[in-house]
Every structure is written in C-alpha cells, then in structure tokens.
Amino acid sequence: MIIAIDGPAASGKGTLGKRLAHHYGFRHLDTGVIYRAVAWALMAAGEDLHNEALAVAAALELDPEKFGNPVLKTQKVGDGASVVSAFPRVREVLVNFQRQFAADPPGAVLDGRDIGTVICPDADVKIFVVADPRVRAHRRTLEARARGEEADEEAVLADIIKRDERDQNRAIAPLRAAADAHTLDNSNLDIEAGVRAAIAIVEAVRARR
Ligand code: DC
C-alpha cells in the first residue's frame, strides 16, 4: 500500500507521514529532505543555487546516509530547496529514487509536494494537508525556537507565503491537490487529532475496497 501526503511548507505533513507510517508498519520518506540535501550540497560548497548543472550533479550524487544532518531542517536550506526543486532536470533525476522507495514492500508513506500528482499517481490513498498560513508560521516559529534558533514570526510568515507562491506556481510539478486527494485541514487540530483524522481517511478508503 502507498500513502501519498502532499501539502505546503510547515503544514505538518512530515510529522503526519511519520506517524502514519509508524501506525501501519510502513516505511516513510520525507521527500523534502531530498531537495534540501541537493540545496545544501551547493550551499556548503559556496555555489550559486541557481546553477542548474551543479544542482543536477548534486542530485545524481545524492547520499541518503546524509539525510539526518540537522542543518537540512533549517529555514535557509528549506528556501534553497524551493529554488533547486524548480529545475526540471533535478526533479527528473530524483523521480526514480522516490518511486523505488514507494514500491518496496511492505508499504510506504511519502510526503512532499507532488507525490499524489507526479511521483505516485496510483497511490492507494492521497491526503492533501492544508493549514492557515498564520497557524503554520506560529508552529514553525515555536519549532525553530525549540531547536535554539532565533525566529521572528512575521518573517517566518513572509517566508511561508513566498515559498507557497513559488511551489504553487512553478512550471513543473507544482504544489496542488490531486483530483482524488482527500483534503485534511489541520489549522485547528493538534498533532494527535491530525493523526486520527488521517487514519480515518485511510480506513475509509480501505473499507470502500
Ligand atoms: O517540505 P519541505 O519544506 O521540506 O520542502 C522544501 C522544499 O522542497 C519545498 O519548498 C519545495 C521542495 N519540494 C518539492 O519540490 N517536492 C517535494 N516532493 C518536496 C519538497
């Protein structure tokens, strides 16, 4: 079984993906980490993020062992990921890795921006997570502070709005809900309630089969 979870920045889709995978005993891939790793490869080398050839080279040399590097979680690397992920050839190189991950047994949960639309259009369950931008900014600010980073909520909100705009309007694989996706608005749900709502969606789809 493949569960696709898509949604904008800081929507909580990553936590939801991890928790759903745990609940069903499936593997989990946070696909944002892949684009973040590509961006960080360029940033760490002091290279220009707008250099498509270098971004493609970094995507070809992707090392999943490095996905745990805490720097990948930072806002500046997230911004960089939004830039490199708009390159069609970067996305093309990364498609196979994601599809292979999804196909391996016993089942997988992938979260990102284009899982239900491009990577796994035949996913068994598709969930599109949304939340009010102000709520997302507030949550992201608290998370950053908990990690010991400084964060100004208004600046985080501006970043979220800019990132949504870039992710939704890029020419290739833009962020949007698949026609057969179930929308989950977690603006007013805490993590536990969000997880319960997602499990209810999966169970409803299973029951209909
Ligand atoms: O979900 P995230 O914040 O880790 O994603 C960082 C950036 O990576 C996001 O702004 C757009 C890009 N991304 C993408 O284009 N496709 C995905 N499946 C996941 C992330």
pLDDT tens-place string over residues 127-170:
999 999 999 999 999 998 998 888 999 999 999 999 999 999 99
Are 163 and 176 found together in one domain? Answer: yes
Q: Residue 5 and residue 116: Cα distance in Å, rounded?
A: 7
Tell me: the pLDDT tens digits for 49-90? 999 999 999 999 999 999 999 999 888 999 999 999 999 999
Residue whose C-alpha is closest to residue 156's, from 143, 169, 174: 143
Q: Is the CB of 35 under 6 A from ligand 1?
A: yes
Q: Is the CB of 81 under 6 A from ligand 1?
A: yes
Q: How far is the CA of 209 from the centre of ligand 1 (A)?
A: 31
Answer yes or no: are the C-beta atoms of 43 and 193 closer than 8 Å.
no
Q: Is the CB of 11 under 6 A from ligand 1?
A: no
Are 185 and 110 found together in one domain? Answer: yes
Q: Is the CB of 13 under 6 A from ligand 1?
A: no
To 10 degrees, what angle do helices 153-169 and 133-146 make?
120
Q: How far is the CA of 1 from the centre of ligand 1 (A)?
A: 23
CA distances from 19 to 96, 102, 104, 171, 189 (A): 24, 17, 19, 32, 15
Range of the domain at 191: 1-26+106-199
What pLDDT was estimated at residue 137? 97
The model's pTM is: 0.94
Are 97 and 119 found together in one domain? Answer: no
Are 195 and 140 found together in one domain? Answer: yes
DSSP state of 188: T
Instruction: Determine the atom of ligand 1 nearest the C-alpha atom of 114.
Output: 18
Q: Is the CB of 186 under 6 A from ligand 1?
A: no
Are 37 and 125 found together in one domain? Answer: no
Are 56 and 132 found together in one domain? Answer: no
User: Does the structure show a pLDDT above 90 at 199?
Assistant: yes
Tell me whether residue 206 is in a domain. Answer: no
Runs of H (alpha helix) within the chain: 13-24, 32-44, 52-60, 75-84, 88-103, 133-146, 153-169, 191-208
User: Does the structure show a pLDDT above 90 at 21?
Assistant: yes
